[in-house]
Structure 1
Amino acid sequence: MINLFKKLPAFSADYSGVCNAVQHMHCLIVLHGQGGCIGGVNTCDDFEKERNEERILFTKISEIDTVTGNDKKLIDQIVSDSQEIENDFIIVAGSPIPMLIGTDWNAWVRELEAEMDKPVIAINTKGFATYEYGEKAIFLELVNKFACSVEKESRANIIGDTCLSGWTADMRRQLKVELQKKYNTVVSWNDDATLDDLRKMCSASLNIAASISALPAVIKMKKDYGIPYITIPELNEIKRVDKLTGARSILLVGEQIVMNQYREQIRRNNPDIQISVCNFFEMNPEWMEEGDCRLFGEDDYIKYLNEHGHCDCIVGDSLLEQFGGYEQKFIKYPQIALSGRLLNDR
């Protein structure tokens, strides 16, 4: 069987991407589906939950409600819970069950907004795509919902700096400090964005795409509102790679924008090193170099190592160390969407 995973766990699903992308915003997240489908969000993918207020609800739809299509019961539940849990807007994400029964998300949005008088966004995630597709969908929908023409100011938006894309609190803090040297206001959507910040998103003079997930949103804001965007400036987390003596080849496995930045930094001091970037999740072909590869499973990774020979150094999630493929050193760089919260905690 092609791409039967024998050593790696299942990757984070699209609805996990939605939940992680907005978990620091002052919103109520409603994940619609059966407990077995959506339980991974809490047990594996919600890596930063301990620093957040609990604002995720699971509908845990019953078999009877599934068969009868009793949406009214679930909508009433969301309205009731929204009154008890402080929030500024509602995010509803789907899973395999809503997909199978054909849930009318537009009707949910109309009814919920009418009853609660606050913004509601529904994302038609299905649980079969990986996390970045959920993140792309919610970032783009936030633009569609809240973007409007406003007066420009000295502001920068950071979009896509999620833990599933490899971002840590230290990385966010470092990036904000650098940007605050140039801009009066710096808003990280994944860290501290309020509803007011979202409504002022188009006052920004620059958008920062911190991961591939941000591209549809920043491209739309550039097209519709003329806001330029760049990928992330220099980061400092992987400078220990520079200390490898005699390294001729390095493989970086992780989110493309982050790993491309590290590749540029390493080359600055080591221009002769061959550096390739691979990822088990989406990659932009325009930013790929010779030797880069989009991987769809562990079979692809094994094939890549066999075809390209052993590297001097591999940087990637700790679960990839078991596959070998390096001569000198394996540097652990956790990728939560690949190995999950529990394995990285251990």
Structure 2
Amino acid sequence: MIKRCIAYGAAMLVILYTFLIYDAEVLSAILILSILYPILSLSWLALTRKSLRTERDRVPEMGEEGKEIRAGILLKNLSRYFAIQYEVKIVVTDRNREEKAVKICRGNLAPESSETVWCDFETTECGVLEVSVESIRRYDWFRIFYLTEEKEEQSLIKIFPEYELIPMEITRRVREFQADDTEYAQDRKGDDASETYQIRSYREQDNIKDIHWKLTAREGKLMIRERGFPLGCVVLIWIDYPEGKKEKNDFSGMVKNAASLSVTLTEEKCIHLVAWYDDLTGKVVMWRVKTVQDACYMTWNLLDIHPYKRTDWMNECRKECFRGREFAAVIEVDASGRFWQNGQKAEYLRI
């Protein structure tokens, strides 16, 4: 704007110099108009300052890795009498890699009309994108002067990873491990005395401790009460995301591998718990995953993870959160997406 004012002032000096040399009525009119134009222009821009509105309801909430995303910003001219020439600056920021893409769109809105400005971009990795309207310029009739309105409007687009099944082996110990839960299996018995799987007649190999004495007295024969099998989380996936210098693809690889591991376990009918430390709240976030839909919900929330700063705080919260809980296996996913078991890097998972 400063450069435009300097250029306009220089043009006025030329007009004034020409007016002083040549005595012509046309030059007088041009000089008067050149003096009045800035006043009229700024007055008109101030008059229409609330006439241009932006809406971000055409920005999708999610996208898929490797596919094109189209986001739209709706511009509305609320004025009944004046057309508005605009220039809108749209910024798309990758929150995790701190990369920005800027798109500037120009146009003209008739009175009481609207127009959608579309922004198309490719996604190569999963993560969170911020689509924001950084500023809007409103120009006068000849696009000489303008007023800029700074905006703080933004929408988030979560880019989901492309799931891949992880090669792994699940041992019999994990499949038969019984973790406490309020949900019980309908197709097999277990060792939880607080829940009954079924009542049946006594067999020779049955334990005498499982005899249901009240039903035995009523039926006149020995009856056995089989205990329930709790469907608790037998595997813990811990996502370790500390703050520090990271490579370009760290976040994407971490989320993708953690989500793929969770989906793989659901395909194997292995109920598990996915957890990480939330540095903003100072608490451990936990998601019980039983189905693929649960894995998708978990991934949606995992995309909001923030790296933690204090390792000692994280360790203390983790220790307190899982005090008294047992898991058949614990798998850690580090900030680079690598798997760890028992303190060692695992190229092939066997749990």
Larger radius of gyration: 2
- Shorter-chain TM-score above 0.5: no
TM-score, structure 1 length as denominator? 0.27
TM-score, structure 2 length as denominator? 0.26
